[in-house]
Amino acid sequence: MFRLKSLYSRIMSTNAGKWAVVGSLIGVVAGIGAIILYLLINLVTEYLLTELTGFSPPRSGIVSGIAPYHFSPYRSWMIPVSLVVGGLLVAIILNKTAPEAKGHGTDAAIDAFHNKNGRIRRRIPIVKTIASALTIGSGGSAGREGPTAQIAAGFGSFIADIFHLNDHDRRIATASGIGAGIGSIFLAPLGGAILSTEILYKKDFEVEALIPSTIASVVGYSIFGYYTGYKTIFSIPPDTVIGFFHPESLLVYLIIGMITGLAAILYIKLFYGISGIFEKMKRLNPYLKPAIGGLFVGIIAIFFPQILGLGYGWVQQILDGNLTLFGQNQVNVFLLLFLLFVLKLVATALSIGSEGSGGVFAPGMVSGAFLGAALGIPIHAMLPFISEDEVVIVSMISMFGGASKAPIAIIIMGTEMTGTYALFIPLMLATTVSYFVSGNNTIYRSQVLDRSQSPAHADEYKKPILDEIPIYTAMKRDYIYVSKNASIKEGVSKIRESRTKGIVVEDNHILEGYLSIENIPSNVNYDDPVEKVMNENIPTIGKSESLHSALNRLISEPTGKLVVIEDENSKSVCGTITLTEISEAYNREIRRIKEANRVLNTGIR
């Protein structure tokens, strides 16, 4: 037992060992959590949506043996009932147990990183899983990546407490959970790992999270992939050739990037516009909000069932070329696909913004796919060397890359989700353009601009400690001095007494000069007055200046001492300052800050 404890201590004492253990544990929970959520969504879909309505949506490429989907007779008028029932159950669960689990989970995890030292209540992952399964399974337009991210991020917070990690490491563990959760559920481990560093900011990276998140994502992917068979979310038909073969197509992808950038803005404005309406309904019973949102989604879905649930299956049907699901001629297909692009955004805002539960990642990509399928019809007609599937994939990825402010991670995830790097160049161009066109608009409102704007890094961007301490609080007031009329012998004696290289020459606190060993000639008459050898080029500094300024001056001052005066125009001596006084003041301030943080952290716990 002693050897095991000793081995554990040695592993946890190293950065590599600590994150290998913590990252692996987070990855295990991310993978298992992804499986549980996946099964629960399928279960609720089968026993609520399908049982009530007879409607069964198409499945994504992750499911083996996919056949062309055909509409079967179903009770469309019962779709609102399924969504209302799901909304009521979600409202009861969330309001009774964890109201903060409402909305999209990734944003809540980002907020925990920046503002709560990575702390997430332990019940959140469980509540989020159940509520999201009900929202999505009953037909709500939401994604499963947000809940999975919050599950793994919540466990990251929990494991940090178990291992007594500090606040910094807890934040890293939480960020790693975000990446592991999304990387697992999307079967995109590399993209998920990079996402954990990128999604926290609009224009920055949390580089320290990369290694822990990589470990966690690989483990989570391995577990979830083992269950699903290591398939990609979307499969490209074997007879479909996609790739970048014509440089002139870059102009098309640039235009697609501009369009999807504007589409990303529309997504964000619609989402928070509709969410804002529900937030203002203060008098409305909170138990009714998700039901009302579900009712509106259900009414839309009576006529357009393609907006229900995750929507991955519809994207798969588009990639498979099964466009007859959307109309019998190209004009009708174009119009319906464009309409579905808008309606999917509206349905997502109603499902999640009404205080439902689910992610915004998947709906954003599905909406982008509908838009891409619509754009692909005229583009392929004019430029046959660009296939419709290429436009769908590029639009899908670039739209959410702009909306999420995580373009690099989304580009990589796009290649992992489709199982091909053939469109890497078009994806890079379109997503980058979309990122810039969408500006500072983001679907994740808890994101901050960069590290300097994050409360998690506030101490790093504060002014140096010495900048905040004025010299007069640290200077030596009982300094040793000598009169200019005293003998040089007396002056040398006082220099030795001071244990420094020089002392102040003054008369009634009025500065006269400075006596240092270096300025005394070897053949001097020690009975002569100090005035004969004192230095009138005196190293002085004002008492109101900072210790940082004093430190900079002392670095180049041979005597190692500065005379502190009232101000630069004064000869009134207040004291002296050396590196010793600066060091003592710095250590006092560090002790004060540590004690304040200890009290604060104790109070939080």
pLDDT band with cut points at 50, 70 and 90 for residue 298: very high
Instruction: Tell me the CA distances in angstroms from 139 to 56, 291, 307, 588, one per residue in order.
Output: 10, 12, 8, 61
Tokens (6 digits) for 249? 């197509």
pLDDT band with cut points at 50, 70 and 90 for residue 180: very high
List of long-range contacts for 207-210, beta carbons under 8 Å, 24+ apart: 208/172, 209/172, 209/175, 209/176, 209/179
Q: How many CA atoms, within 13 angstroms, populate the side-chain half-sphere of residue 236?
A: 21
Domain ranges of the chain: 2-63+75-458, 467-587
Name which of 58-72, 94-108, 240-254, 416-430 the model is least confident about: 58-72
What is the distance between the terminal CA atoms of the chain, rounded to a whole angstrom? 30
Amino acid at 283: R
Q: What are phi and psi of 527, to 5 degrees?
A: -90, -10
Confidence (pLDDT) at 63: 60
Q: Do domains 2-63+75-458 and 467-587 have the same CATH topology?
A: no
CATH fold for domain 2-63+75-458: Clc chloride channel (1.10.3080)
Q: How many CA atoms, within 13 angstroms, populate the side-chain half-sphere of residue 224?
A: 35
State the Cα torsion 378-382-386-392 to the nearest 10°.
-10
DSSP state of 545: S
The tens digit of pLDDT for each residue in 239-293 reads: 878 888 888 899 999 999 999 999 999 999 999 999 999 999 888 888 999 999 9
Q: Which of 458, 481, 591, 497 is nearest to 538 (CA)?
A: 481
Residue 386 has pLDDT above 90, yes or no: yes
Instruction: Tell me the CA distances in angstroms from 203 to 388, 434, 439, one per residue in order.
Output: 32, 14, 11
Instruction: Kindly state the average pLDDT of the residues 323-342.
Output: 92
Distance CA 134, CA 40 (A): 8
Instruction: Kindly state the average pLDDT of the residues 501-517.
Output: 86
CATH superfamily of 467-587: CBS-domain (3.10.580.10)
Provide the CA 290 distance to its chain's centre, in angstroms.
27
Look at residue 242 and give its three-state secondary structure. Answer: coil
Confidence (pLDDT) at 217: 96
The tens digit of pLDDT for each residue in 433-449 reads: 999 999 999 999 999 99
